[in-house]
């Protein structure tokens, strides 16, 4: 009986480990899925020529977008056409956190 349990456990481990694709190319955009982000799936990052667009989806209605963040370097000029969203100049000089969990990421 122990041998069957070990074989079952080994089979579960072997078949559950899969590598997912790190990026998907679209028409004029490269959508990145960082290797360091393994469990978060309700956001998408699109890298464009002049800016980076971070899109956050609603966890209860996955096709609905909660917020769009347009990331532009501080040293770069603003492009003529930008998508709708919150404009953030990067890198950030200051930030505010309302929770202790997020503070650990700012170190």
Q: CA angle 51-84-46, nearest 5°?
A: 40
Per-residue pLDDT at 36: 58
What is the model's pLDDT at position 69? Answer: 95
Q: What is the pLDDT of residues 36-91, one digit of tens each?
A: 566 778 888 899 999 999 999 998 998 899 999 999 999 999 998 999 999 999 99
Q: Which token pair is 92?
A: 């950030």
Q: 3-44 pLDDT, tens per residue?
A: 777 677 767 666 676 555 444 444 344 455 445 566 778 888
Between 100 and 18, whose confidence is greater? 100
- How many residues are present in the chain? 107
Phi, psi of 86 (to 5 degrees): -80, 125
Q: For position 37, what pLDDT does the model report?
A: 64
């Amino acid at each position: 009986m122990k041998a069957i349990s070990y074989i079952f456990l080994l089979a579960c481990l072997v078949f559950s480990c899969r590598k997912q694709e790190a990026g998907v190319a679209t028409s004029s955009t490269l959508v990145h899925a960082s290797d360091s982000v393994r469990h978060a799936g309700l956001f998408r990052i699109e890298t464009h020529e002049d800016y980076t667009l971070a899109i956050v989806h609603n966890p209860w209605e996955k096709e609905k977008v909660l917020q769009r963040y347009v990331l532009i370097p501080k040293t770069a000029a603003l492009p003529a056409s930008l998508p709708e969203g919150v404009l953030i100049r990067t890198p950030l000089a200051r930030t505010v956190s309302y929770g202790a969990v997020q503070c650990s990421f700012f170190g």
